[in-house]
Amino acid sequence: MSGYKYYLIILDDCSHYIWVFPLSLKSDTFSTLANFFAYVRTQFATTIKSVQCDNGREFDNSTARTFFLSHGVTLRMSCPYTSQQNGKAERSIRTINNVLRSLLFQASLPPAYWIEALHTAAYLVNRLPTKTLASSTPYFHLYHTQPSYDHLRVFGCACYPNMSSTAPHKLVPRSSLCVFLGYSSEHKGYRCLELESNRILTSRHVVFDETFFPFADMSTTPMASSALDFLIDDDEMTSSILGAKLVHTGTSTQHVSTHPGAQPETPTPGDAEPLGSSARPRAPGSPAAGSLAPSSLAAASGGAGPLGSPTVGSAGPLGSLAAGPRAPGPSPPLTEAGAAAPVRTAQVAASSVQSTGRTLATRPVHVTLVENAHSMRTRGKAGLAQPVDRLNLHAAPVSPLPRSVRDALTDPNWRAAMQAEFDALIGNDTWSLVSRPSGVNVVTGKWIFRHKLHADGSLDRYKTHWVFRGFTQRPGLDYDETFSPVVKPATIRVILSLALSQDWPIHQLDVKNAFLHGTLEETVYCVQPTGFVDPSRPGMVCRLNKSLYGLKQAPRAWHHRFASHLASIGFTETKSDGSLFIYRRGSDTAYLLLYVDDIVLTASSDQFLRQVIAAL
C-alpha cells in the first residue's frame, strides 16, 4: 500500500531515543541520513561526531565516505560477521520488530499496514521506561520533559472521527467506522483509516472503542500469492549496522510470508532480506532484524511523534510403525450396538521391552484403531499408544537464582556457595586489605550466580563467582596490555593429525580457577566483596596480589604465568604459535596446546604422558 520495503532506524546512544524512516529502496539510505544530519544541527544545535557500521553498502560507499569526511565524522566499522559489536543497535531492532508484530497481530491488520505499526512502535518505545535509563524514558532524556500518556489509544481499534466539517449536508452521519492507525507526526491528532473509502483521516476529535477491532471481525479469504509481489527483491540483501557514540542508525527489511498459515518467527540480527522472501518465511507483518548505527549526538529527536520531529504400518513389534497394510489380527469385541469396543490391553512385545528398557508404566499399549482417509501413518492407525516416559522425576526443592546479593545472603544454599568462594579467594592470597590511597581508581565487583547441573538435568551444586567490572578500570592506571594468545585452529588440526598418524595418546585437561593463578604486574585496587566486608576494617580496599575474573588483563596474566611454568620444566614455546609448547627428552616428545584454561596434551608414549601431567 505504501510502496515501502525497508526502514532505517536511528538510535541516540545517550538518550536511547529512536527514529524510524521507511525506505522504498536501500539506495535512499544516504539521502535520508544526510537529511537527519541537517535535522540534528537545526533542532539540537549539535553535530554528529562518529558513525560505526559493518560492511553494509548503504553506508560504506564512496558517496557516504565523502560526506562523512566533509563533515568531520569518524567512520568506524565492526569486524565482518560480528554483530555483537553493535549489541545495543541489534537489541533496538529486535524490540521494534517485536512491538510491530504484536500491534499487527492483536489488531488482525493486514501486512500492508506494517508502516503504520512501525511508526506506532517507535512512538511507544520512546515513551516506555527502561532500566538502562534508571526507569526513565528516552523521551525525557532527549527533551527533558515528561511524556504525556493521556492521548495513547489501542492500535487498530475502532474509532469514530468527527467528520461534520466535510459533510455535504446536515443530514449525513457525523462520523463513520474507522480503524486507528497511530499518531500523526505533522499534526497533533490521530490517523484514522476510513473503511468505506479507504482514506486516512487526521483528526483531533475522535471517539474510540478500544475493545473492538474491525479487521478481526471481517470475513477474509486466503491471500493470493501475488498480493505481496511488490515486496519481492531479487538482489542479495546484506545487513548494515551503524553504531557510534550517541546515535545508532540502521536498515531493516520487512518480511511477509505469502503462506496464510505461516507461523511467526522471531527475527534474528543478520542479513536483511526482501519482504516475502521464501528463504525464511515469516508471518504477515513479521519484520526481520536489520541494521543499526551510532553517532555522537548530545540529544536526538522525534520518530513518529506529534512533536514536529521528522520520521525520516505394518504391525510388527509394538512401538514400531512401517508403511503398508496392517497385518491381520483378532478383531476387537463388539458391543450390543455393533460398534467396536475400545481395546486397552497391557500386552507388550517382549522384544520391544528388552530393546528399549522401558518401565511397565511407559511401555506401548494397544488402543482403538483410528481410521481416516489421510495417507500418513500414525500410532493411532497402528493401534498403539505411547505413554510419556518421564526420565527425571527429581522433585527436591532448588533455590532459584537470586535477584540480588541480599536475596542470596538470606538463602542458606547460596550463602554457603558464596562463603566457599570467599574462603577460596582468601586461601589463595588473592588480595591484601590496605587503606585506600588518594587518587587511585578502585575497581568495583559483583557476584555471579548459576546452577551447575548433571547430565540428566538434576542439580549438581550452587556455583558463585566474585568477578570485577572490568569497564571500571582505567588504561594506564590499573591495566596496560590485555592481549592473550590462544592456539590457532590450524595448529590444533596439525597436532591431532600427527597424534593420530603416530598412534599417540591424547589427554585433555581443564585448569580449575585458571585466572586466579595469574600474577599481576600492575597495582590494582578493588572493593571488598559485597556481604563479606571485614567488620573491623570496613573502609579499607583490596590490593590485588593475583588476577581475578573480570579484569581486563586476567587472561594475559594467566597465560604468562602458565607459559613461565612450562618453560621451567623444559617446554619450549614455538615461534609460529604462542600457545603451542614442545617438550623433547631423548626420543620422547610431547606437544601441549593451550586455549585459555583448556589444555590438549599428547606424547609419544603413555608413560611419558603421565610423567608430563605429573610435572604440570
**396 band by pLDDT with thresholds 50, 70 and 90:** low
Say if residue 86 is in the same domain as residue 135: yes
Contact 562, 594 (CB under 8 A): yes
Task: Check pLDDT > 60 for residue 8.
Answer: yes
Task: Check pLDDT > 70 for residue 259.
Answer: no
C-alpha count within 13 angstroms, C-beta hemisphere, residue 508? 4
Task: Check pLDDT > 50 for residue 560.
Answer: yes
Say if residue 185 is in the same domain as residue 86: no
36 membership: H or E segment, kind and range: helix 29-44
Task: Check pLDDT > 80 for residue 317.
Answer: no
Say if residue 109 is in the same domain as residue 178: no
Structural domain including 121 reads 6-147+228-287
**394 band by pLDDT with thresholds 50, 70 and 90:** low
Residue type present at position 430: T
Point out the least confidently predicted range of 425-439, 470-484, 508-522, 547-561: 508-522
Say if residue 548 is in the same domain as residue 608: yes
Q: Which of 245, 271, 287 is the last residue of a domain?
A: 287
Q: What is the pLDDT of residue 597?
A: 80
Task: Check pLDDT > 80 for residue 602.
Answer: yes
**Is residue 303 included in any domain, yes or no?**
no
Say if residue 477 is in the same domain as residue 574: yes
Percent with pLDDT over 70 in the chain: 74
Q: Which of 258, 287, 316 is the last residue of a domain?
A: 287
Q: Averaged over 324-347, what is the pLDDT? A: 42
Nearest to 65 by CA among 56, 245, 7, 251: 56
Say if residue 609 is in the same domain as residue 470: yes
Q: What is the pLDDT of residue 553?
A: 85
Say if residue 176 is in the same domain as residue 254: no
**Is residue 525 included in any domain, yes or no?**
yes
**Is residue 421 included in any domain, yes or no?**
yes
Percent with pLDDT over 90 in the chain: 32
pLDDT digits (tens, 9 = 90+) for 458-485: 888 999 989 988 888 888 888 888 888 8
Longest dimension (CA), the chain: 109
**Is residue 304 included in any domain, yes or no?**
no
Q: What is the pLDDT of residue 101?
A: 92
Say if residue 280 is in the same domain as residue 411: no
Q: What is the mean pLDDT of the chain?
A: 76
Phi, psi of 38 (to 5 degrees): -65, -40
| pTM for the whole structure | 0.41
Please report where in the chains the cell 482514506 appears, as a residue. Answer: 199
Classify burial at 595, counting beta carbons within 10 Å of its beta carbon; exposed 0-12, middle 13-18, buried 19 or more: middle
Task: Please tell me the distance from the alpha carbon of residue 285 to that of residue 105, in angstroms, as a whole number.
Answer: 8
Q: Which of 169, 186, 212 is the last residue of a domain?
A: 212
Say if residue 139 is in the same domain as residue 277: yes
**Is residue 367 included in any domain, yes or no?**
no
- Indicate which CATH number applies to the domain containing 18: 3.30.420.10
Task: Check pLDDT > 60 for residue 318.
Answer: no
Which of the given ranges, 63-67, 230-234, 308-312, has the highest pLDDT on average?
63-67
Q: Higher model confidence: residue 542 or residue 273? A: 542
pLDDT digits (tens, 9 = 90+) for 150-204: 999 999 999 999 988 888 888 888 899 999 999 998 889 999 999 888 889 999 9
Nearest to 304 by CA among 62, 94, 121, 109: 121
Which of the given ranges, 80-89, 234-243, 431-440, has the highest pLDDT on average?
431-440
Task: Please tell me the distance from the alpha carbon of residue 377 to that of residue 384, in angstroms, as a whole number.
Answer: 12
Q: What is the pLDDT of residue 363?
A: 62
Q: Averaged over 56-69, what is the pLDDT? A: 85
Say if residue 276 is in the same domain as residue 415: no
pLDDT digits (tens, 9 = 90+) for 493-539: 999 999 999 899 999 888 877 777 777 888 899 999 999 999 998 88
Q: Higher model confidence: residue 126 or residue 368? A: 126
Q: How many domains does the chain have?
A: 3
pLDDT digits (tens, 9 = 90+) for 478-488: 888 888 888 88
Task: Please tell me the distance from the alpha carbon of residue 114 to that of residue 4, in angstroms, as a whole number.
Answer: 9
**Is residue 433 included in any domain, yes or no?**
yes
Integer-rounded Cα Rg, in Å, for the chain is 33
Task: Check pLDDT > 50 for residue 593.
Answer: yes
Q: Higher model confidence: residue 106 or residue 510? A: 106
Classify burial at 245, counting beta carbons within 10 Å of its beta carbon; exposed 0-12, middle 13-18, buried 19 or more: buried
pLDDT digits (tens, 9 = 90+) for 64-82: 889 999 999 998 878 888 8
Say if residue 26 is in the same domain as residue 104: yes
Q: What is the pLDDT of residue 362?
A: 56
Task: Check pLDDT > 90 for residue 42.
Answer: yes
User: Going by DSSP bridges, is the β-strand pair 286-287/242-243 parallel, antiparallel, or unpaired?
Assistant: unpaired
Say if residue 193 is in the same domain as residue 119: no
**Is residue 313 included in any domain, yes or no?**
no
What are 17's strand-pairing partners?
Answer: none
